[in-house]
Each structure stands twice: as structure tokens, then as C-alpha cells.
Amino acid sequence: MDGDGTAERLAGQGEKVSTPEVSVVMSVYNGAEYLEPTLASILSQEGCDLEFIVVDDGSTDDTGRILDEWAVRDKRLRVIHQQNTGLTRALIRGCAEAKGDFIARQDAGDVSLPGRLGAQCAYLRNHADTVMVASGTRFVGPAGEALYEIVRVADELGHGLSNLDVQKIQGPPHHGSTMFRKEAYSSTGGYRPAFVVAQDIDLWLRLAEVGKCCGLGEVHYAARLAANSISGRRHEEQLHAGALAIECARLRRIGQSDQARIDKEIPLAIRAGGRTTRREKSRFYYFIGACLRNSDPASARRYFRRAVRENPLFLKALARSILG
């Protein structure tokens, strides 16, 4: 890890910025395996003064040690160690610590590509009516395989968030690809603890009610897909909570409070998150194989075979593992 000498190049160069322009906020739980490339991708960004706030959400692997070592080398990295609270509450804490005018999200294991923060900061500086921007995202597989890209261009993002149809709504390409104004974040209530999942769409919809949300055409973010991600483990909950966030937005936009609906629906939408089931893993590996089927047939078949190992009754995966 970090075999290209990035850590050495960054060592000692980050003097602590008292008034950073942007605060990058990330939560991590047991993410040691891919943590160092993530840290390097932010701390090597140019074009803006930054601080990097990372909440170590009760990790039991080497995450805490890695963060502390990097924080010694670069004072822009601020590490908060805490007992596990889950993503939403960890993000609330991280954003509460933010000193910058802008807050950028970053997910552990993902990489911000060169130029990301500079481009996003420049756009927000030059467009006072815009409260959130999102860069295009390249999605990669477990071994770093390029799978597909999603880009929202200009007003396409705002239009996507104005469509309150659960089948048609389109948010930013990825939670970690966004940057928003801290003032707008605070005035709209920020991340809400009730949304243990789908906290992103709930926030985006409220931000869209106070200003423009714009997509930057360039791909500035690379997101790694993993079988044990929240999307993999809690897919049904995300769908339920996402639909609730949309219903809440509909109520607000006709002048009604959404709190009673949240109090009623959230207990039904959320259960304790557990480990990824073998059936869920099977579906995940099949999806990766399907993405690679045309570009890398050999790798695709390997993923189809992994899907079958997790669920031998997945006949479609079995057929693909044989026929390609």
C-alpha cells in the first residue's frame, strides 16, 4: 500500500490551515485495506486550502493506527476516534467540526481524482446561487476493474432532484462526489439521525429546496464497489428510507411538516444492519460480472463463478459462468 512514495512526498508539507476553504468529511469503519490511497488522494489535491476530517467510527482493525500516523505527517488531517455510531451520526459529528465554507464528502476506500476539489471550489466561488455540486463518478470493481461511469451535467442534477418519483428521481452520481455550502447544510438541518440509511438523498432533497444543485461534467471521483457495503447489506432498507425521504420532500414542498411522517415510518424502515448474506453476495458478484461481460469476458466468468459458489441455485449465474 502507498508503494509509490506518496506518503513520503506529503510528509511535513501540510501545515495546519486555520481557516480552510473546504472541509473534507469522511467516516471510516474497519477500512484499513484501502485507506491510504484514499488519504493520499485528498491530501494531494490542489487549488484550494483544505482540512480533512476523518471520523474513525469504532474501527477494530488498523484504521486508527494508519490515521494517526498520517495525521502526524500532515496537520491538515484531523482524526476523531469514537465508539461506533453508524455512518449518519459519524457524518453529523464530522460536519459539526468543519471550519470551511464548503463541505466535501469522501468515502473510505474511494479515490478523489486530481483536480476534484479545485474544480468544485471554483464552481461554488463563481456561482453564489449554487448550494451543491457533484462530479462525475467512475465505478470500479473489487479488484479495481473499471465498470461504468455516471455523470450529471449542469442543471441535469437539479432537474433530477426536482422529480419526486421514486422511479425517476436522479441524485448525484455518488455520495462521496459531492461538495456543498456549509451554510446551506446548517440551515436545512444537515444529516438527520433518523435516516440511518438514505441520509444522502434526504440531505440532497433539502439542499435542492434552498438553491441550485449542479453537476460537473468531468469525472473526478472513483468509487469502489464492495459486497459488504451498506448498499449491499441494507438494500431494502435504503429503498424504503429513500422513498420516505421523497415523501418528506413532497410534504415540505406543499408547506407541510415532515416530522410526523418520519416518526411514523422510520421505525418500520430501519432494522439493525447485519452481515451481508450469501444471497446478497451472489447478486453482487453477478452484477460485477454483468458489467464486465463485454469488456473483460474472462474476469466476468470468474465473478459469475463466485456468484454460483455463494448461491448454487442462482441458475442465471450458473449459465453465465459456463456460456459467458
**307 and 317 Cβ atoms separated by less than 8 Å:** yes
Q: For the residues 306-312, what does the mean pLDDT come to?
A: 94
User: How confident is the model over 30-86, as pLDDT tens digits?
Assistant: 999 999 999 999 999 999 999 999 999 999 999 999 999 999 999 999 999 999 999
Of 47, 81, 109, which residue constitutes the final position of a domain?
A: 109
Please indicate, yes or no, if residue 18 is contained in any of the structural domains: yes
Burial class (CB in 10 A: 0-12, 13-18, 19+), 60: exposed
Total Cβ atoms within 10 A of residue 207: 22
Euclidean distance between CA atoms 108 and 81, whole angstroms: 15
Residue 289: give the domain boundaries: 278-323
Which H or E run includes 266? helix 259-269
Strand 22-28, strand 102-105: pairing: parallel
User: How much is the pLDDT for 12?
Assistant: 46
Grid coordinates 446548517 are at which residue?
186
User: How much is the pLDDT for 280?
Assistant: 87
Please indicate, yes or no, if residue 188 is contained in any of the structural domains: no
Please indicate, yes or no, if residue 290 is contained in any of the structural domains: yes
Of 64, 88, 109, which residue constitutes the final position of a domain?
A: 109
Single-letter amino acid, residue 157: L
The answer, yes or no, to whether residue 274 has pLDDT greater than 90, is: no
Of residues 151 and 271, more confidence is placed in: 151
Q: For the residues 198-215, what does the mean pLDDT come to?
A: 97
Give the model's confidence band at 276: pLDDT under 50 very low, under 70 low, under 90 confident, else very high: low
Please indicate, yes or no, if residue 37 is contained in any of the structural domains: yes
pLDDT more than 70, % of the chain: 89
- What is the average pLDDT score of the chain? 90
Q: Find the range with the poorest average confidence among 114-118, 149-153, 163-167.
A: 163-167
Residue 44: which CATH number?
A: 3.90.550.10
Q: For the residues 231-240, what does the mean pLDDT come to?
A: 71
Single-letter amino acid, residue 284: F
Please indicate, yes or no, if residue 293 is contained in any of the structural domains: yes
Please indicate, yes or no, if residue 42 is contained in any of the structural domains: yes
Please indicate, yes or no, if residue 314 is contained in any of the structural domains: yes
**177 and 105 Cβ atoms separated by less than 8 Å:** yes
Please indicate, yes or no, if residue 46 is contained in any of the structural domains: yes
Of 89, 109, 129, which residue constitutes the final position of a domain?
A: 109
User: How much is the pLDDT for 6?
Assistant: 47
The pair phi, psi for residue 41, each rounded to 5°, is -65, -30
Single out the residue of 50, 39, 164, 63 nearest to residue 111, CA to CA. 39
Single out the residue of 65, 76, 83 nearest to residue 100, CA to CA. 76
User: How much is the pLDDT for 234?
Assistant: 62
Domains of the chain: total = 2
